[in-house]
Amino acid sequence: MTFAPDLLVGKHAFITGGTRGINLSIAHRFAKAGAKVTVIGRDAERAAGAEKQLRDAGATALALTADVRDYAAVDGVIGKSVAAHGPIDVLVCGAAGNFPAPAAAMSTNGFKAVVEIDLVGAFNACRAAFQHLRKPGACVTFISANQAYMPAMLQAHVCAAKAGVDMMMKALAMEWGGSGVRLNSIAPGPIADTEGMARLASTPEARAAAEKRVPLGRFGTKDEVAEVALFLASPAAAYITGAVLAMDGGFGLGGFGLNPLG
């Protein structure tokens, strides 16, 4: 699909976890479509680098630091972003954590950290942003994962967190639909050049094995995920809410198998 270059002119996109990876690519794509973008992350140096990168590309951009697990911190940065860029038209909940680990060897804190970043962090962003969403017309997009609906060894924490994210999304779609707010999830499969895939397919052999499981025969790209996010933010998706959009090259059709690392 070809989008008009001014598709998001005058709109404000707020992106958690937006200082790197897929979420930074989404920020760049939204900015290219004319949006004012706010990205947040935990690392101040990375945030400063992301802001410079976005501004050097011509974006009206603001990068702030906050831990999505801390509601007060999220509420504070959302307030600052609204003061700078106006009401939020597009909220992307992308902050996430992952590491491969067998459940029997995983610490409670390790499990809890992923659930809190992915699920509680997404709730915090939604809860704090709701009063600032431009209603009707705003949309919220969650960056989910195949693990939300495909069980995977060494990923019990991620499976639990992402399944929770998608079910929360559907519940909020029902609650907030009357306000004119749409909520959907993108579930990327194997995406190249991401920290997650670097951990889950850490060797050339593991990567080759994972690619063989993708019907389209390759990993996706961060830019392709960004295009899907832009579609969900566009008028073309005006009647889509409560949906989980698999963006995985068909990977979910075959499942992870017994060993997700190849």
Catalytic residues: 144, 162
Kindly give, in sequence order, each residue whose CB lies less than 8 Å from that of residue 51, ignoring residues fewer than 6 positions away. 39, 61, 62, 63
Distance from C-alpha of 192 to C-alpha of 9, rounded to nearest angstrom: 29
Q: Cα 82 to the chain's mean position, in Å?
A: 20
**Cα within 13 Å of Cα(71), Cβ side:** 7
- Residue 124 pairs in a beta bridge with none
Among candidates 130, 8, 143, 18, which has minimal Cα distance to 78?
130
